[in-house]
Structure 1
């Protein structure tokens, strides 16, 4: 009986459930699933782009199609500025550190040697901060040097393609063409002026790749915008000739600087614009910033006697004199408002032509004072002596010519022979171009084949012809060093005293010559300025006229302008000796 009872108890026994264990397991399961749901909700609702960005980092790629900067060429296609391929070396510090790149000491030493740097300084430049991802090590290296660096196989050291500006003409056209910075962006001269046209936009393609690197989807494809080439009005042959002569003159006369401008008087095209001393735009290291200044457009000076033709023209335009008139300049001096105006000696009675040949201050003063003040000043303003020439060149000066209402008679007298105003060499060249083309003030340009522009008529055509003939006599019987063999040339010298820093005039001079040729059918206007000649010679006829002659002779030959007939040259010379001014 006892046995059976025990067996029944065993059959009726049910194991008790440990309740707290069940709830712990259930709670853990719910917590895990709740975390998964919360994470899914966070990714899908709050930050839905996180996984997408992670996927894009692994599959999305963008490649670029780089464009090189456009070329600058002269009117004949000669390259003045071109882009050449170079390489940049840079480091990714994180990759260098993660791959123990600093342990490759021999390779780092080779890298430092080729970059001409100390190895410790080079490694210090890269640094030990793994958060940095980009550091420039060297720029504008030759492809051969870059290939050598690649062969070193230093982890985290990379190269990439860039372009560098090269200037085949060097110092000859440096002031005009200008230069770019290390990022190939124009910062001086025409490189700056036409930077947008010279710079294209890089093309790019965005695509998605698979695990094997194959393109499976192209998302965006942008074509590159090609840069423009700039074709200049400059004739590099004339530019080289002008620079050679200016450089030689600056050295020969111990001058501080010199400038020359050559214009096509009918189109307004600038055929040459040079300054000396110049600089090498391919290697500007150690060059003083003032050497970058394009003096032909930025510097201004009192033009002196080169303004006397304008005074004569003004008198002819108003009708107070005639080409064959005679002016009595005796006794060679006069007082105006207590101030003295004088010639170097008493020339007595002078024809209008002789006033220019002798460069008589007395003659031009008397002509100027016979003209109403407003008409005289208006003619100077009409010549563009208070405005730029229209080139758009950076830094071009508009000159200095006061528009005040009150001018004393003495100030008007000095204005008649080129004092009391300041202009640039380019402005002076435009004035002489107006004399040569029959009286039209042109807007000047550095680009080839500008749109036709008749210009603004500022002088009577017949009067300009009369004055051209007078200017030819200036060269034949005065400034003889400006003569050009086989051609009829006209021009005028100028010797201006420079103002001193403390006011008044000092002991420094500017020698100037401006002229046109050939007189029978004018084509070219040239201005030469020699600043502060340091020798015994400082007059424009001595320092600037010979330079003008050489530049003019070469320019006429380069442009295939036929020489004048010798008999015609002799005929014109005899006519003016007899006093016949009917040009």
Structure 2
């Protein structure tokens, strides 16, 4: 054999013969393996599919809430007073946190501690105490920059959740009326509380698939649709509310008063157009929501109304027919049960109109004793003293009007000029609105009305108009309420200055008021201003409260497009206008 042939044979590879038994055994084993895998796969996908899908879903599929928000609160013109804004909150699965980061010493965890407003040590102890819990809030209602930091950290077991936070654009101006919600979006004060069920939305539910970081990677189905809360449109006018807020706050600060309230009603509908309490607070700040400032004094606090009650004594006397507006009464001081009743300024006699204009205690005391108890109390009961207004405002007081069966002559006398019983500012405003509405009492409402409520006739139109005409003299140059005058409009009102009861008697602190109606020819608004314990040299209702009425009424009547009715002022304006035109024309 040649060397070349031997070389070719040497390079020829050794091969397993295809016909041998080893080859068939190898191929058989490989085929069986593939068949086993195929059979197993088919078994798992057909017979065990539901079981496996269930196990997979149990690890990754969850029911997730579809978060909805509360309805808006609007003023009568559609201006937003309360809205819900989307925010992020951070929570953690403590079990997962303890499993993955037992030491909690990383810099990222220190950053999370800062977000939770805790030191690193406190935060670690805080987590350890909650060991085994799968849901714990870390921080709620984060600002966008802070939630972005949490998202960047991407810490194991720490997640963000969508929520809504209540925001109040008008802040202090409507705080006492609108109220606020807590961190869980439940109404806690004001109309947020009163209409919580109406405003609250209903969260929905959907089935989603999550990844290892609990991020939604697939939305499978909606289990329950979310329902947004209903919007609530109030009766107040935010423009009037703002100017009333400024005027009352200025007066409270100027006279260094303890507190104050202002209530304005639409005489024809019973709607509240403005309602203010001082001091105020910012409902957007949790740290300012202190109990001593969040209470709405216009609904909650009651006081002895003093001389603002005298028009109702006069109304009872007119209804009983014992006097007429020009009936003259001896107003020299008089003694009842050993107690003298007298006036600040001496008047030998006054007619009934003069009794209101000069605010005579003796005059109304004598009117009261000219009537039976039932006749005397008639107007007081009819206008609603002793019962709440039915507004539905949380915590509204009914005041105090419990008259004993066998009361003394002096008790009857002092009640005639506003002592011995208590009313709230809203009760007094509703009472004056009855006079302005020609004796019709309409339910007081904080919600905008689309039609005029029918109301109930509680006083005669004749008597109501007579009392209004008498109260107009109070705001004249000779009356105690002249500072309540409004250029171009006829105003009717009554001042009040009452000593505060203390230790079974009366001290040196005062509450002062002005209650008024405008315009006299066709009443549109009734307003009450109440100031508690003014500390300045001016402490009478005509000095402290009446100017507030003038400032607020002047602008409000213009905003409400109420036509001026003071003819002499209108005439003077026309004369001045004509003079200016003549001068301009040479």
**TM-score bracket relative to the smaller structure:** 0.7 to 0.9
Q: Secondary structure at the match of 2:134?
A: coil
Query: How far did 1:568 drift?
Result: 7.6
Residue of structure 1 in register with 2:73 after alignment:
72
Distance in 1 (CA, whole Å) between partners of 2:415 and 2:53 is: 77
**Cα distance change, pair 488–570 in 1 and its aligned pair in 2 (3 A):** farther
Deviates more, 1:268-277 or 1:196-205: 196-205
Deviates more, 1:107-116 or 1:148-157: 107-116
Residue of structure 1 in register with 2:469 after alignment:
469
CA contact (8 A) 2:268 2:452 kept: no
Deviates more, 1:415-424 or 1:109-118: 109-118
Distance in 2 (CA, whole Å) between partners of 1:209 and 1:118 is: 32
The number of aligned residues is: 517
Deviates more, 1:100-109 or 1:524-533: 100-109
Query: How far did 1:214 drift?
Result: 9.2
Residue of structure 2 in register with 1:437 after alignment:
437
Deviates more, 1:379-388 or 1:285-294: 285-294
- The C-alpha deviation readout for 1:361-420, integer Å capped at 9, x for no partner, is 111111111111112123311211111101000011111011421121211111111111
**Cα distance change, pair 569–91 in 1 and its aligned pair in 2 (3 A):** same
CA contact (8 A) 1:101 1:155 kept: no
**Cα distance change, pair 275–155 in 1 and its aligned pair in 2 (3 A):** same
Distance in 2 (CA, whole Å) between partners of 1:178 and 1:376 is: 39
Query: How far did 1:206 drift?
Result: 4.0
Residue of structure 1 in register with 2:84 after alignment:
83
| Correspondence 1:105-184 to 2 at 5 A | 105-127=106-128, 131-184=132-185
Deviates more, 1:94-103 or 1:182-191: 94-103
Query: How far did 1:98 drift?
Result: 2.2
Q: Secondary structure at the match of 1:384?
A: coil
Residue of structure 1 in register with 2:327 after alignment:
325
Deviates more, 1:84-93 or 1:487-496: 84-93
**Cα distance change, pair 421–217 in 1 and its aligned pair in 2 (3 A):** closer
CA contact (8 A) 1:97 1:128 kept: no
**Cα distance change, pair 98–480 in 1 and its aligned pair in 2 (3 A):** same
Distance in 2 (CA, whole Å) between partners of 1:452 and 1:103 is: 66
The unaligned stretches of length 5 or more in structure 2 are 1-50, 573-586
Distance in 1 (CA, whole Å) between partners of 2:510 and 2:267 is: 28
Query: How far did 1:346 drift?
Result: 2.7
Query: How far did 1:296 drift?
Result: 0.4
Query: How far did 1:110 drift?
Result: 2.7
Residue of structure 2 in register with 1:339 after alignment:
339
Residue of structure 2 in register with 1:545 after alignment:
546
CA contact (8 A) 1:302 1:423 kept: yes
Query: How far did 1:117 drift?
Result: 3.0
Residue of structure 2 in register with 1:396 after alignment:
396
Deviates more, 1:163-172 or 1:122-131: 122-131
**Cα distance change, pair 311–183 in 1 and its aligned pair in 2 (3 A):** same
**Cα distance change, pair 378–128 in 1 and its aligned pair in 2 (3 A):** closer
Residue of structure 2 in register with 1:406 after alignment:
406
Query: How far did 1:113 drift?
Result: 3.8
Distance in 2 (CA, whole Å) between partners of 1:497 and 1:232 is: 35
Distance in 2 (CA, whole Å) between partners of 1:340 and 1:492 is: 24
- The C-alpha deviation readout for 1:262-290, integer Å capped at 9, x for no partner, is 00011000001001111111113155311
Q: 2:242 aligns with which of 240, 243, 267?
A: 240
- The C-alpha deviation readout for 1:138-157, integer Å capped at 9, x for no partner, is 11102331121111121111
Residue of structure 2 in register with 1:35 after alignment:
none
Residue of structure 2 in register with 1:193 after alignment:
194
Query: How far did 1:116 drift?
Result: 4.2
Q: Secondary structure at the match of 2:141?
A: strand
**Cα distance change, pair 214–427 in 1 and its aligned pair in 2 (3 A):** closer
Distance in 2 (CA, whole Å) between partners of 1:475 and 1:217 is: 72
CA contact (8 A) 2:207 2:219 kept: no
Provide the alpha-carbon RMSD of the alignment. 2.4
| Correspondence 1:423-434 to 2 at 5 A | 423-434=423-434
| Correspondence 1:307-326 to 2 at 5 A | 307-326=309-328
Residue of structure 1 in register with 2:522 after alignment:
521
CA contact (8 A) 1:488 1:520 kept: yes
- The C-alpha deviation readout for 1:26-77, integer Å capped at 9, x for no partner, is xxxxxxxxxxxxxxxxxxxxxxxx9998676247532332111111111111
Deviates more, 1:191-200 or 1:95-104: 95-104
Query: How far did 1:215 drift?
Result: 7.7
Q: Secondary structure at the match of 1:127?
A: helix
- The C-alpha deviation readout for 1:433-466, integer Å capped at 9, x for no partner, is 0111100111100000155422121111011111
CA contact (8 A) 2:475 2:485 kept: yes
Q: Does 1:385 align with 2:385?
A: yes
CA contact (8 A) 1:267 1:450 kept: no
Distance in 2 (CA, whole Å) between partners of 1:484 and 1:471 is: 15
TM-score by length of 1: 0.84
Q: Secondary structure at the match of 2:260?
A: strand
The unaligned stretches of length 5 or more in structure 1 are 1-49, 572-583
Distance in 2 (CA, whole Å) between partners of 1:375 and 1:76 is: 43
**Cα distance change, pair 362–94 in 1 and its aligned pair in 2 (3 A):** same
- The C-alpha deviation readout for 1:490-533, integer Å capped at 9, x for no partner, is 10001111101x21111110010001000011000000001000
Distance in 2 (CA, whole Å) between partners of 1:255 and 1:262 is: 21
TM-score by length of 2: 0.84
CA contact (8 A) 1:259 1:295 kept: yes
Query: How far did 1:183 drift?
Result: 0.5
**Cα distance change, pair 568–151 in 1 and its aligned pair in 2 (3 A):** closer
Distance in 1 (CA, whole Å) between partners of 2:90 and 2:208 is: 27
CA contact (8 A) 1:483 1:489 kept: yes
Runs of 4+ in structure 1 displaced over 6 angstroms?
50-53, 207-211, 213-217, 568-571
Distance in 2 (CA, whole Å) between partners of 1:61 and 1:133 is: 14
- The C-alpha deviation readout for 1:160-213, integer Å capped at 9, x for no partner, is 1111111111111111111111111111100100000111111113479999x9
| Correspondence 1:260-409 to 2 at 5 A | 260-285=262-287, 287-329=289-331, 332-409=332-409
Deviates more, 1:520-529 or 1:502-511: 502-511
Residue of structure 2 in register with 1:489 after alignment:
491
Distance in 2 (CA, whole Å) between partners of 1:567 and 1:166 is: 48
CA contact (8 A) 2:179 2:189 kept: yes
Q: 1:250 aligns with which of 235, 249, 252?
A: 252
Residue of structure 1 in register with 2:567 after alignment:
566
**Cα distance change, pair 254–565 in 1 and its aligned pair in 2 (3 A):** closer
CA contact (8 A) 1:304 1:419 kept: yes
Residue of structure 2 in register with 1:9 after alignment:
none
CA contact (8 A) 2:316 2:378 kept: no
CA contact (8 A) 2:281 2:288 kept: no
CA contact (8 A) 2:432 2:526 kept: yes
